[in-house]
A = this chain, B = another copy of it.
Amino acid sequence: MDPDSVAKAFVDHYYSTFDTNRGGLANLYQDSSMLSFEGQKFQGAQNIAAKLASLPFHQCQHSITTVDCQPSGPAGGMLVFVSGNLQLAGEQHALKFSQADPIV
């Protein structure tokens, strides 16, 4: 698979997990992983999953608008940049979101 296809597959998997089984996101992070979320920092799969589980909404649906990727680091990692809309249950208007995912 070319890098763009890997990035697209990762993004599809990440956000479908987010929308349908948020606790499963813990499997997509490692102990060394870090999450910066609206100015707060979290480290480690469990802390990151706990933060994401604590977000003040339950049902949500991400719609992806753009996926960009580029190689990152000497070990074959990549940096994936995502933007799109986030529809929360019961809300009339979708939120815009963007996220950078360094993948190792």
CB within 8 Å of B: which residues of A? Answer: 34, 36-39, 41, 66, 68-73, 79, 81, 83, 96, 98, 100, 102
Can you name the residue of chain B whose Cβ is closest to the Cβ of A34? B70
- State the copy count for this chain: 2
Report yes or no: A36 in contact with B70, Cβ–Cβ below 8 A: yes
B residues in contact with A72, CB < 8 Å: 72-73, 102
CB distance from A3 to the nearest CB of B (A): 10
Contact B36 A81 (CB under 8 A): yes
Contact A98 B83 (CB under 8 A): yes
What B residues does A39 contact at CB under 8 A? 66, 68
Quick check: A41 and B66 within 8 Å, CB to CB?
A: no
Whole-angstrom distance between the alpha carbons of A39 and B70 in the complex? 11
CB proximity of A6 to chain B, nearest CB, Å: 14
